[in-house]
């Protein structure tokens, strides 16, 4: 099935997250809706209680807002990044399913390549 997959990614083993699957969402959700969810996941997992309270009082406090990826400088709603290290990476994936049995389940998926931006000739 198609899905929005949100995973924890990092630069270096020191920031590695044991369970890197943060969430799986319905593929029909809009990129803007998923961006809000990703940001909330990050805030509630990485910020202190006082930072979360500041965030709840107004999004002005948020050093790591969720942002769309880009395609040649243009925002691309099919990819969302949030955080520092570790950070959340959301994207639509294909063929998302479970392999294995209870107690030994593993999620597998196929990455959907970013669309190519056509070159315009003058």
Q: Which of 45, 40, 24 is closest to 90 using CA atoms?
A: 24
Is there a domain that residue 8 lies in?
yes
> What residues make up the domain containing 41?
3-111
Q: What is the pTM of this model?
A: 0.88
Is there a domain that residue 45 lies in?
yes
**What does the pLDDT profile of the chain (122 residues) look like in tens digits?**
999 999 999 877 766 677 899 999 999 999 999 999 999 999 999 999 999 999 999 877 899 999 999 988 888 999 999 999 899 999 999 999 999 988 889 999 999 998 887 766 44
Radius of gyration of the chain (CA): 16
Q: How many domains in the chain?
A: 1
Residue with tokens 């389940």, as numbered in its chain: 105
């Amino acid at each position: 099935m198609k899905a929005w997959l949100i995973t924890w990614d990092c630069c270096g083993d020191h920031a590695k997250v044991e369970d890197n699957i943060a969430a799986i969402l319905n593929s029909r959700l809009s990129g803007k809706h998923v961006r809000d969810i990703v940001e909330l996941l990050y805030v509630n997992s990485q910020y202190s209680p006082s930072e979360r309270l500041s965030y709840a009082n107004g999004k002005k406090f948020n050093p790591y807002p969720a942002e769309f990826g880009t395609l040649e400088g243009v925002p691309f709603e099919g990819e969302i990044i949030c955080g520092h290290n570790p950070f959340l990476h959301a994207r639509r994936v294909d063929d998302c399913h479970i392999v294995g049995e209870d107690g030994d389940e593993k999620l597998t998926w196929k990455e959907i390549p970013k669309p190519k931006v056509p070159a315009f000739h003058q």
